[in-house]
């Protein structure tokens, strides 16, 4: 009776408070879009599991320890004795500009394969969540992601695909050729406005991309608009919810928080607009605090930040 299974690579993120080229202290954090989503749901009291490969050393131990401390189920995680943890340097270059540098090629997380996912998926989660990062990691990770969405869809498990294009990992053309077919298995597709054409025709505008996706069987297309909130497209039309105004200190992880809020609302049986409201509220918590996920709310904190009326 798992609510959500999510699959991906968790990274060790080393954050600087100034330019990396001059050195200085780095702080160590857990990062990874999928683990961010798992934590967001676990904080709200849902049963969330994260599956992926972690290194068999202190860094892998750190990843597992963080996830367990947040109440995320890690029973399906594999320790890889031969490969290191993926690292990410998050450089705060100026107060407004952050840069990301990955050291993740050949990592334990990138060695994910179909066999890693068989047992976790057979356990029958209520939802499967995946991002467009995982299939970009390696051939075996792409095969695993493809297998997982197909198998889930065939078993009646709704799939949420969050596009999450990472230009450091692949080109837009490569991403489109992998992600557009994956979207055909999804019930929910989450994208920012500039990612929509990665799951549709090249250069498709929002309406054309949405029409393509709905025709292909997607039930809900969520378009993240940052400070402008979000839109949800379904066969019944489009709804918009404004963002919750907060002081933004760190936008990394906001998209993952948004997805976690939407899926939490889905699991709670909320209607579309209330799901969107919870999504933008979690996004607001994420941008109002430092770190990918540290500032996400427990259920009794949800009312600290609440969305306004839907348009
Ligand atoms: O969504 C936030 C992510 O960018 C971060 O946690 C790291 O998963 C990550 C990635 O691959 O960029």
Q: What pLDDT score does 16 carry?
A: 96
Q: Convert the pLDDT of each residue in 33-53 to its tens digit.
A: 999 999 999 999 999 999 999
Q: What pLDDT score does 293 carry?
A: 97
What letters, b where the CB count within 10 A reaches 16 and e where it falls short, cover 275-297? Answer: bbbbbbbbbbbbbbbebbbebbb
Q: What pLDDT score does 307 carry?
A: 54
Atom of ligand 1 nearest to the CA of 164: 1
How much distance in Å is there from the Cα of 204 to the middle of ligand 1? 25
Residues with CB under 6 A from ligand 1: 11, 31-33, 36, 88, 133, 166, 252-253, 255-256, 292
Considering the chain, what percentage of its residues have pLDDT values greater than 90?
Answer: 94
Within 8 A by CB and 6+ apart from 300, the residues are none
Asked if residue 16 belongs to a domain, the reply is yes
Burial class of 195 by CB neighbour count within 10 A (0 to 12, 13 to 18, 19+):
buried
Asked if residue 39 belongs to a domain, the reply is yes
Q: What pLDDT score does 305 carry?
A: 83
Q: Is 280 helix (H, G, I), strand (E, B) or coil?
A: helix
How much distance in Å is there from the Cα of 28 to the middle of ligand 1? 14
Radius of gyration of the chain (CA): 18
Whether ipTM tops 0.95, in short, is: no
pLDDT-flagged residues of the chain (< 70): 307-311
Phi, psi of 232 (to 5 degrees): -120, 125
Q: What is the tally of structural domains in the chain? A: 1
Contact 175, 183 (CB under 8 A): no
Asked if residue 310 belongs to a domain, the reply is no
Contact 275, 231 (CB under 8 A): no
Residue whose CA lies nearest to ligand 1 atom number 9:
32
Q: Convert the pLDDT of each residue in 142-200 to its tens digit.
A: 999 999 999 999 999 999 999 999 999 999 999 999 999 999 999 999 999 999 999 99
Asked if residue 115 belongs to a domain, the reply is yes
CATH number assigned to the domain comprising residue 116: 3.40.1190.20
Q: Which helix (H) or strand (E) holds 307?
A: none
- Give the residue numbers spanning the domain of 259: 4-302
Q: Is 300 helix (H, G, I), strand (E, B) or coil?
A: helix
Residue ranges of alpha helices (H) inside 20-113 are 33-43, 58-69
């Amino acid at each position: 009776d798992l609510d959500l299974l999510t699959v991906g690579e968790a990274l060790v993120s080393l954050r600087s408070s100034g330019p990396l080229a001059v050195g200085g202290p780095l702080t160590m954090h857990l990062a990874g879009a999928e683990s961010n989503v798992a934590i967001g749901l676990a904080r709200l009291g849902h049963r969330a599991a994260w599956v992926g490969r972690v290194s068999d050393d202190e860094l892998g131990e750190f990843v597992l320890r963080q996830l367990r401390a947040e109440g995320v189920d890690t029973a399906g995680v594999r320790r890889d004795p031969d490969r290191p943890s993926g690292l990410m340097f998050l450089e705060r270059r100026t107060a407004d500009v952050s840069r990301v540098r990955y050291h993740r090629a050949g990592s334990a997380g990138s060695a994910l394969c179909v066999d890693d996912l068989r047992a976790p998926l057979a356990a029958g989660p209520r939802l499967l969540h995946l991002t467009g990062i995982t299939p970009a990691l390696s051939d075996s990770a792409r095969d695993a992601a493809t297998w997982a969405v197909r198998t889930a869809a065939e078993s009646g498990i709704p799939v949420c695909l969050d596009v999450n294009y990472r230009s450091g990992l692949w080109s837009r053309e490569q991403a489109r050729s992998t992600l557009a077919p994956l979207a055909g298995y999804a019930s929910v597709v989450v994208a920012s406005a500039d990612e929509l054409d990665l799951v549709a025709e090249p250069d498709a505008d929002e309406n054309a991309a949405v029409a393509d996706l709905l025709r292909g069987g997607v039930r809900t297309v969520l378009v993240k608009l940052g400070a402008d909130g979000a839109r949800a497209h379904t066969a019944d039309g489009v709804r918009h919810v404004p963002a919750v105004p907060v002081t933004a200190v760190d936008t990394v992880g906001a998209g993952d928080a948004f997805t976690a809020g939407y899926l939490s609302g889905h699991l709670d049986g909320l209607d579309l607009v209330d799901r969107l409201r919870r999504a933008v509220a979690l996004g607001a918590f994420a941008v109002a605090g430092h770190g990918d996920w540290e500032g996400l709310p427990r259920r009794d904190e949800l009312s600290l930040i609440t969305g306004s009326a839907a348009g």
